Amino acid sequence: MKLAILSRGPNCYSTQRLKEAAVSRGHSVRVLDTLRFSIDLRKGEPDLYYRSKHLSDYDAIVPRIGASITYFGTAVVRQFEQMDVFTTSASAGISNSRDKLRCLQILSRHQIGIPATTFVRERKDILPAIERVGGVPIVVKLLEGTQGVGVILAETVQSAEAIIQTLQSTKQNVLIQRFVSESRGRDIRAFVVGDRVVAAMRRTAQGQEFRSNVHRGAIAERVILDETYCETAVRCAQIMGLRVAGVDMLETKEGPQVMEVNSSPGLEGIENCTQLDIAGAIVDYVAAQVDFPEIDLRQRLTVSRGYGVTEIHIPAGSKFIGQTIDESGLPELDINVLTLYRGTTVIPNPRLKRTLEPEDRLLCFGKMEVMRSMVPERNRRKRSPKVKVLSTDVPTHETTP
Ligand SMILES: Nc1ncnc2c1ncn2[C@@H]1O[C@H](COP(=O)(O)OP(=O)(O)OP(=O)(O)O)[C@@H](O)[C@H]1O
Ligand SMILES: [Mg+2]
């Protein structure tokens, strides 16, 4: 295949390793500076120029987009998507995972453990917010901090308020998060490629430090994650629209709590710690998937007028409970069930013989008008619009139950 790595740092470890891995597997590979693209838009022909020359055909890209160039970088990736070039991270996935709030907002509707978190603006909303996440101690976080900078532990309500107000007075957006004390000074980085975790490490802070960032002296060790942790990490990546992702989790008695998902996870730390060839795993995955570029459902579905993807919820007491999908009459109404969500289980392409249970959620494709009538009036009023076209947080490919 012909692969492009989008990176501003041709000599950085991750870029070098990806390049090496591609070359050693006989692929053609180039490192392209993300900021040297020109995006050309013309009717029916999305196109790209690189260093003002027409870009030749590529089979796949691996974007490594730093936080400082998110806008332009995601625009370039979006252009490759319009040109049906396979990418390891969807442009929307990069944007969605870029700040901690947006990432947690998207994850929060799914059955994925996250630390209780709130986001407030007004001074008078701070105290109630601290109480809602369980009271002090709490963690105060800048939305776009990295390497532990902007992650502060507040032991008392007074210090929490003072920290939040100080940060807000400098126009910084901050999150208030429950301090997960069981995991003090430790976290897990799971490295996801496709639909599996290819490597994982536990980072442990030294001394009194509660932040387990390697830049703050934390020590990393290889770990083999159990099924729950692996599944959580893989689902997070899928929900975000990332086929390569670094998922950071805290360990608790109730299982993993996801702090964030990184769209350009570094390779150096994890390869050194685990001695695994992660660059190779990424390149092999891309080579196997290159014929299946990401499809943005929302863009494509609006083409067939009146049709869309919506989620139908089966509440307790629904007449559909105990019926099979076939008996429910959905197929007759020309509604296809794409995925069934049952608790933490995701069942892609459920069989018509499958019986519906209370609280099932069905991701369906069909005529919007018909599907709208499937949602009870009460439900529609409670949370309108309950029936809606799901956007980018539709998993792109599913884990088996
Ligand atoms: N809610 C929490 N409870 C306990 N410890 C936490 C919590 N949030 C963060 N930590 C600790 O602080 C460290 C840094 O937090 P986090 O990863 O959210 O920010 P960051 O490392 O600055 O950002 P990035 O991971 O994007 O570089 C974590 O690795 C973890 O050890
Ligand atoms: Mg971190």
Q: Tens digits of per-residue pLDDT, 85-126?
A: 999 999 999 999 998 999 999 999 999 999 999 999 998 999
CA atoms of 274 and 123, how far apart (whole Å):
45
Per-residue confidence (pLDDT) for residue 45, from 0 to 100: 87
Give the Å distance between the CA of 379 and the centre of ligand 1. Answer: 37
Per-residue pLDDT for 218 more than 50?
yes
Pairing of the two strands 151-154 and 174-178: unpaired
Minimum CA distance residue for ligand 1 atom 23: 146
Confidence class for position 384, pLDDT limits 50, 70, 90: very low
Q: Is 371 in the pocket of ligand 1 (CB under 6 A)?
A: no
Q: What is the mean pLDDT of residues 33-37?
A: 97
Which ligand minimizes its atom distance to the CA of 250?
A: 1
Ligand 1 atom closest to 212 (CA):
31
CA atoms of 55 and 49, how far apart (whole Å):
5
With contact defined as beta carbons under 8 Å apart, do 197 and 191 qualify? yes
List the CATH code of the domain at 297-382: 3.30.70.1450
Per-residue confidence (pLDDT) for residue 390, from 0 to 100: 38
Minimum CA distance residue for ligand 1 atom 19: 148
The sign one gets for the Cα dihedral 228, 233, 239, 243 is negative
Confidence class for position 311, pLDDT limits 50, 70, 90: confident
Per-residue confidence (pLDDT) for residue 380, from 0 to 100: 53
Task: Give the SS3 label for residue 283.
Answer: helix
Confidence class for position 298, pLDDT limits 50, 70, 90: low
Which DSSP state fits 117?
E
Ligand 1, residues 213, 260, 263: which to mutate, most atoms within 8 A of Cβ?
Answer: 213
Q: Count Cβ atoms within 10 A of the Cβ of residue 385 and give its class: 0-12 exposed, 13-18 middle, 19 or more buried.
A: exposed
Which ligand minimizes its atom distance to the CA of 220?
A: 1
Minimum CA distance residue for ligand 1 atom 25: 146
With contact defined as beta carbons under 8 Å apart, do 251 and 200 qualify? no
What's the alpha-carbon Rg for the chain, to the nearest Å? 23
Per-residue pLDDT for 156 more than 80?
yes
Q: Could you read off the pLDDT of 323-382 as tens digits, one per residue?
A: 999 999 999 999 999 999 998 888 999 999 999 999 999 999 998 888 888 776 655 555
Q: Is 213 in the pocket of ligand 1 (CB under 6 A)?
A: yes
Q: Among 15-19, 112-116, 296-300, 342-346, whose mean pLDDT is lowest?
A: 296-300
Q: Is 214 in the pocket of ligand 1 (CB under 6 A)?
A: no
Ligand 1 atom closest to 148 (CA):
22
Fold assignment, 2-95: Rossmann fold (3.40.50)
Which ligand minimizes its atom distance to the CA of 258?
A: 1
Minimum CA distance residue for ligand 1 atom 30: 211
Which ligand minimizes its atom distance to the CA of 149?
A: 1
Q: Domain limits of the chain?
A: 2-95, 116-179, 184-289, 297-382
CA distances from residue 40 to 53, 299, 366 in whole angstroms, order as listed: 12, 19, 34
Terminal Cα-to-Cα distance of the chain (whole angstroms): 32
Give the Å distance between the CA of 148 and the centre of ligand 1. Answer: 6
Top-tier CATH class for 116-179:
alpha beta
Q: Among 229-233, 325-329, 392-396, whose mean pLDDT is lowest?
A: 392-396
Amino acid at 151: V
Per-residue confidence (pLDDT) for residue 92, from 0 to 100: 95
Q: Is 260 in the pocket of ligand 1 (CB under 6 A)?
A: yes
Ligand 1, residues 130, 133, 248: which to mutate, most atoms within 8 A of Cβ?
Answer: 248
Helix then strand then coil, % of the chain, to nearest 5 = 30, 30, 40
Q: State residue 192 phi and psi, 5-degree precision.
A: -100, 130
Degrees (nearest 5) of the Cα angle 73, 203, 89?
A: 25
| Residue 34: partners with Cβ closer than 8 Å, 6 or more residues away | 6, 7, 8, 63, 65, 69, 72, 73, 76
Q: Which CATH superfamily is domain 184-289 in?
A: ATP-grasp fold, B domain (3.30.470.20)
Give the Å distance between the CA of 180 and the centre of ligand 1. Answer: 10
Per-residue confidence (pLDDT) for residue 291, from 0 to 100: 77
Q: Is 211 in the pocket of ligand 1 (CB under 6 A)?
A: yes
Minimum CA distance residue for ligand 1 atom 15: 148
